[in-house]
Amino acid sequence: MPLKIPEYIQTIAPYVPGKPIEELEREYGITDSIKLASNENPLGPPPAAMAALGQAFLKLHRYPDGAAFELTQRLARHLKVAPEQIVLGNGSDDLLGMLARVLLQPGDEVLVPDPSFLMYTIVAQSAGAVPIKVPLKATHIDLEKVAAAVGPRTRLIFICNPNNPTGSAVRRKDLEDFLAGLPAHVAVVLDEAYFEFVRDEECVSGIVLLASHANVVTLRTFSKAYGLAGLRVGYGIMPGYLAELLHRVRMPFNVNTLAQVAATAALDDTDFLGRTLATVHQGLDFLYAELTRRGLRYFPTQANFFLVDVGRQAADVFDALLRYGVIVRSMGAYGYPNFIRVSVGMPEENRRFLQALDKVLSAEL
């Protein structure tokens, strides 16, 4: 390598996204495949967002509103927080990067439950910080072990709630006890990308804890329950002093015009959100029942995806499912060599997944 690249950048393991449908169909020469791999909204985009986009096309020769005024105001009303406590991102991934730039220096330590969303390690390493993995307790983030791992160099802790890929959620009492025991120099990022799907009433959003904690950041996204993954809109809710610093490091037009318009309209499409949650929850209950009937183990989830134990190398099952036009995620890279992660789809997609799985598991791989 002709350039001198820091060791901490060279050792970053690339993020591998879910396989796109187009790529599968190109490679296998098939059509009509389904993707249950990236926890997207199976219903499609919200109708209100699509209707609002028409007018926005006429503005595409202009730069977006860098402050995203409309969307920020609308979100502030929706979340009952001040607009100054909100920072928007090009997906919540963008917020992860901004937080790393604001909070971390080389040599700092970042606590990352393991397995969890792989981007936490990547953004920590990008800033020269040292990610410290804290193993889960079975499928749950072990908050006691995370607290015990805090040291003088710890600057940031990522808590994915519900956790990707296990689907477990942290309960209010445990979260409050954990936050109360932390030293003031440690920031906590609660990644709530899937929070809208949570059915456990004992769970609480970090947004509720904002007023009482100066070190807590909550991340949300329009990519999952709001059906706008392709437009890339996420947001962080945080104390005003921190939001002000994130604004300084974010790119000036990080949320594009179409994304701002669609996300603002999506917040008003309560019918779509309701249909989304009903589809996911009914789909989950159906899949749980069908997998139980087949004697297959799974981890119950608070999100719109869950882990299924396929009892053999998941990478082989993943490959075999591709041949039937079904894309899931193999969990080898997350430390679950026998598990696949399946996003809940439309009823016919869930049935197709089960049919393909039956064929794959009854064949010799």
The window from 62-70, 87-95, 268-276, 353-361 that contacts ligand PLP (CB under 6 A) reads: 87-95
For residues 20 and 359, give the distance between their C-alpha atoms in angstroms, rounded to a whole number. Answer: 23
> Residues 318-357: x/- map of binding to ligand PLP (CB under 6 A)?
----------------------------------------
Is 93 near ligand PLP (CB under 6 A)?
A: yes
The site for ligand PLP, by CB under 6 A, has a size of: 13
Please choose, out of 66-74, 89-97, 253-261, 289-297, the segment that lies near ligand PLP by the rule CB under 6 A. Answer: 89-97
* Contacts of residue 190, Cβ cutoff 8 Å, sequence gap at least 6: 159, 161, 175, 205, 206, 216, 217, 218, 219
CB of residue 233 to ligand PLP, shortest distance in Å: 7
Indicate the SS3 state at residue 56.
Answer: helix
Residue closer to ligand PLP by CB (options 164, 257) is 164
Dist CA 302 CA 168 (whole Å): 6
Residue found by looking up tokens 């607290």 in the block: 147
Is 221 near ligand PLP (CB under 6 A)?
A: yes
Q: How many whole angstroms from its chain centre is CA 21? A: 20
In angstroms, give the least distance from the CB of 364 to ligand PLP: 33
Complex with ligand PLP: residue 193 or 204, whichever CB lies closer: 193
Place of tokens 């307790």: 137
Instruction: Kindly identify the residues of this chain, within the stretch 234-253, that bind ligand PLP according to CB under 6 A.
Output: 234
Using CB atoms, what's the residue nearest to ligand PLP?
91
Inter-residue contact 219 to 192 (CB < 8 Å): yes
Token pair 């706008």: residue? 228
Q: Which stretch binds ligand PLP (CB under 6 A): 50-58, 91-99, 176-184, 239-247?
A: 91-99
- Considering only residues 167 to 206 of the shown chain, the ones binding ligand PLP according to CB under 6 A are 191, 193
Closest contact distance (angstroms) between CB of 22 and ligand PLP is 19
Beta carbon of residue 223, minimum distance to ligand PLP (angstroms, whole number):
3
Asked if 229 touches ligand PLP (CB under 6 A), the answer is yes
Task: Pick between residue 303 and residue 320 the one whose CB is nearest to ligand PLP.
Answer: 303
Tokens 């202009």 belong to: 62
DSSP class per residue in 111-177: EEEESS-THHHHHHHHTT-EEEEEE-BTTB--HHHHHHT--TTEEEEEEESSPTTT-----HHHHHH
Nearer to ligand PLP, 221 or 301 (CB): 221
**Cα–Cα distance measured from residue 166 to residue 303, given in angstroms and rounded to the nearest whole number:** 9
| Residue placing its CB nearer to ligand PLP in the complex, 160 or 204 | 160
CA 311 to each of CA 288, 290, 301, 333, 338: distance values in angstroms, whole numbers, following the listed order:
16, 16, 19, 17, 6
254 binds ligand PLP (CB under 6 A): no
Judged by beta carbon, residue 209 or residue 229, the one nearer ligand PLP is 229
User: Closest distance between ligand PLP and the C-beta of residue 173, in Å?
Assistant: 23
DSSP string covering 215-280: TEEEEEESSSTTS-TTT--EEEE--HHHHHHHHHHS-TT-S-HHHHHHHHHHHH-HHHHHHHHHHH
Binding site for ligand PLP (CB under 6 A): 39, 91-93, 117, 160, 164, 191, 193, 221, 223, 229, 234
